[in-house]
Amino acid sequence: MAQVPQRFFDALAVRTWCGLSLRALGRAREEIDAINVYPVADGDTGTNLYLTVESAVAAVEAVFAAHEVAEGPRNAGEAPRDAGDGPSLADAVGAMAHGALIGARGNSGTILAQLLRGMAQVLAARGDSAHTEGTGLRLALRHAAASARQAVAHPVEGTVLTVASAAADAADGAGDDCAEVARTAYEGARAALAATPGQLAVLGRAGVVDAGGHGLVTVLAALVETFTGRAPGPVAVPHARVHHGGEEPGEVPAAGGCATETEADENGPAFEVIYLLEAEDAAVARLRQRLDALGDSLVVVGGDGLWNVHVHVDDAGAAVEAGVEAGRPHRIRITHFGHGDAHTTKAERPPRERTQRAVVAVVPGEGLAALYAEAGATTLLARPGEPPASGELVQAVRRAHAREVVLLPNDAELRHTAAAAAEQARTEGIRVALIPTRSAVQGIAALAVHESERRFDEDVVAMTSAAGATRHAEVTVAERQSWTTAGICQAGDVLGLIDGDVAVIGTDVAQVAATVLDRMLSAGGELVTLVLGDEAPESVADHLRARVREAYLAVDTVVYRGGRQGALLLVGVE
């Protein structure tokens, strides 16, 4: 169905733009992934941008749904409503920016979130106006480009930042018609994108344009379609021809610019760390300084108490700890790039190549995410009530950058989701083995025996055996009254679950945990693993460790901090 053009930039135009951007990125995702060579050649920029915009779309749709329930929908093409009738422009752009912020993925997705936030700041500041015309759109594009540069610790020319600035510069020469502003911004961005191989050496060597910049041009093309009803022609993009030698005949040499980051992160840090952070401005300023000293590709976007932090580091735990000191980090994602040694310098690391084998794990808390990442796994954080979708798991498998992947879902409820992700990854030529771990402690046991030097099948069998030999339990608090296998529990009761079933109901955390542990060890065991959540009393670990030492002489105990993992305590017995 043909798109109805929008005369003004109003709430409906925001909704239309977001939807068109998502569809356009969906079509271009694989092409953008294929040319992703900077800052890390991990082939996921298109996917990251798609997931970022998908989150923005969901937030905008929620705002419209809330208004439509009360007032009924407005048809496309109608004249703008008054500010008090339906979602205002400020409502829509605010939702768009917030959705992109909380859903931002990767370096380019994080920058795109800041670009959208920069636009929203200008458009929302125009009071209760239901719409804006070309003047407001030009100002929004200018502020977006400036705020994105400010969010990046060390801006590099030849990237999405260059493309955003070019779009704003071009729009400055347009008139007061939104369609004209969108067209000139798009054309300026497209011309800047074509020039990126001459500004960034790694792009010139690979024979490609910047992947993040291509994504922004795609989003701006959707803006043109929003106001004209017709999408510009597709951007012609060459495929990557990455090599590690000198310049080839016909290659575009590096031009000037301000490339102050590592030009190609082939020798860069071992981990990508991303998290949302609730913190004050002063604390974030200190966080920027600390993270900048720890690694590179630092981007911190957001404001008003909520931030999205992205950085590449060798010490993932230190990056998370810095966030804890600054405020409250959550939705933490730690990805192991699969290259180099976390304790060697950049100069000592060999060029990055696709690894033979990697482990991808879903984990319930930031403490466990850091633990798994330090053991070499690519992690995907699953917050309570926010299970990852199969697409997120596929993205994690891609980011592991390996020919063979062992997938640990660490949750019985995620088994089918993980199976779908594994099947999708196999169609992309990745050999994936799914180990049906039902708890993070089973994943710890599997990861402990993982040896990438073994044959793939042998490694999978050993990891599966270790996970299967680990009984798992958790101690948590009941949210409501309900029937359980141990009787009726009330809201606030402490529950002890063994292998997924409620076995103990009590009121004291330490007592319930001890009872659970005794029942598990009654069948024997050699090692007890305890993972404490943030809300668990400090004394619980000491109490349980002493109990094991006194009553089970041949059993060892290890304790980890799991962070905000949902359960008060996770228990594993091997």
pLDDT in tens, the chain (574 residues): 455 566 678 899 999 999 999 999 988 888 888 888 887 776 778 888 988 998 899 899 988 888 765 555 454 444 444 444 678 899 999 999 999 998 888 889 999 999 999 999 998 886 556 678 888 999 999 999 999 999 998 888 999 999 999 999 999 988 788 999 999 999 999 999 999 999 988 888 888 999 999 999 999 999 999 999 888 877 665 554 433 333 332 333 333 333 333 334 445 687 888 888 999 999 999 999 999 999 888 999 998 899 999 999 888 888 888 998 999 888 787 777 654 443 333 334 344 466 889 999 999 877 888 889 888 899 988 866 677 877 788 888 988 889 999 999 999 888 888 888 888 888 888 999 999 999 999 999 999 999 988 999 999 999 999 999 999 999 999 988 888 888 899 999 999 999 889 999 999 999 999 999 999 998 888 899 999 888 888 788 889 989 898 888 888 999 988 877 788 999 999 8
Residues 441, 551 within the same domain? no
Q: Is residue 245 included in any domain, yes or no?
A: no
Q: Tokens standing for 20?
A: 């068109």
Residues 451, 477 within the same domain? no
Q: 5 preceded by cis ω (within 30°)?
A: no
Residues 308, 427 within the same domain? yes
What pLDDT score was predicted for residue 252?
A: 31
Q: Which residues contact 81 (CB under 8 A, 6 or more apart)?
A: 10, 74, 130
Residues 180, 192 within the same domain? yes
Q: Tokens standing for 431?
A: 């050999």
Q: How many CB atoms lie within 10 A of CB 426?
A: 13
What pLDDT score was predicted for residue 220?
A: 96
Residues 409, 521 within the same domain? no
Residues 307, 423 within the same domain? yes
Q: What distance in Å separates the CA atoms of residue 501 and residue 551, rounded to the nearest whole number?
A: 25
Q: What distance in Å separates the CA atoms of residue 323 and residue 328, rounded to the nearest whole number?
A: 7
What pLDDT score was predicted for residue 255?
A: 32
Q: Is residue 283 included in any domain, yes or no?
A: yes
What pLDDT score was predicted for residue 335?
A: 76
Residues 487, 451 within the same domain? no
Q: Is residue 215 included in any domain, yes or no?
A: yes
What pLDDT score was predicted for residue 338?
A: 55
8 Å CB contact between 96 and 139? no
Residues 360, 446 within the same domain? yes
Domain assignment of residue 430, given as a range: 268-338+354-468
Q: Which residues contact 414 (CB under 8 A, 6 or more apart)?
A: 362, 382, 387, 388
Instruction: Work out how many domains the chain is built from and give that number.
Output: 3
Q: What distance in Å separates the CA atoms of residue 309 and residue 320, rounded to the nearest whole number?
A: 10
Chain centroid to Cα 352, Å, comes to 22
Q: What distance in Å separates the CA atoms of residue 107 and residue 38, rounded to the nearest whole number?
A: 10
Tell me whether residue 59 is exposed, middle or buried, using C-beta atoms within 10 angstroms of its C-beta: 0 to 12, 13 to 18, 19 or more. buried
Q: What distance in Å separates the CA atoms of residue 230 and residue 48, rounded to the nearest whole number?
A: 26
Residues 165, 191 within the same domain? yes
8 Å CB contact between 157 and 200? yes
User: Which residues of 193-316 form beta strands (DSSP E)?
Assistant: 271-278, 295-303, 306-313
The CA radius of gyration of the chain, in Å to the nearest whole number, is 25
- The structure tokens 């993009």 sit at 237
The residues that bridge with 487 in the sheet, in sequence order, are 484
Q: What distance in Å separates the CA atoms of residue 260 and residue 456, rounded to the nearest whole number?
A: 40
Q: Is residue 301 included in any domain, yes or no?
A: yes
CATH classification at residue 295 = 3.40.50
- The structure tokens 């996970």 sit at 467
Which is nearest to 23 in space by CA: 60, 59, 49, 44?
Answer: 49
Q: Is residue 565 included in any domain, yes or no?
A: yes
8 Å CB contact between 343 and 286? no
8 Å CB contact between 525 and 548? no
Q: Is residue 521 included in any domain, yes or no?
A: yes
Among residues 207, 228, 249, the one where a domain terminates is 228
Which is nearest to 115 in space by CA: 155, 79, 153, 160?
Answer: 160
Q: What distance in Å separates the CA atoms of residue 442 and residue 458, rounded to the nearest whole number?
A: 18
pTM summary value? 0.60
Among residues 419, 439, 468, the one where a domain terminates is 468
Residues 114, 221 within the same domain? yes
Pairing of strands 131-132, 9-10: antiparallel
Please list, residue by residue across 343-360, b when 16 or more beta carbons sit within 10 angstroms of its beta carbon and e when fewer do.
Answer: eeeeeebeebeebebbbb
What pLDDT score was predicted for residue 238?
A: 57
CATH classification at residue 31 = 1.25.40.340
Among residues 412, 447, 468, the one where a domain terminates is 468
Q: Is residue 200 included in any domain, yes or no?
A: yes
8 Å CB contact between 207 and 188? no
What is the H or E stretch that residue 432 is in?
strand 431-434
Q: Is residue 217 included in any domain, yes or no?
A: yes
Residues 181, 220 within the same domain? yes
Q: How many helices (H) and strands (E) does the chain have?
A: 18, 18
Q: What distance in Å separates the CA atoms of residue 185 and residue 163, rounded to the nearest whole number?
A: 10
Tell me whether residue 177 is exposed, middle or buried, using C-beta atoms within 10 angstroms of its C-beta: 0 to 12, 13 to 18, 19 or more. middle
CATH classification at residue 556 = 3.30.1180.10
Largest CA distance in the chain: 81
What pLDDT score was predicted for residue 187?
A: 94
8 Å CB contact between 292 and 338? no
**What's the Cα-to-Cα distance from 112 to each of 308, 385, 478, rounded to whole Å?**
12, 26, 40
Residues 102, 219 within the same domain? yes
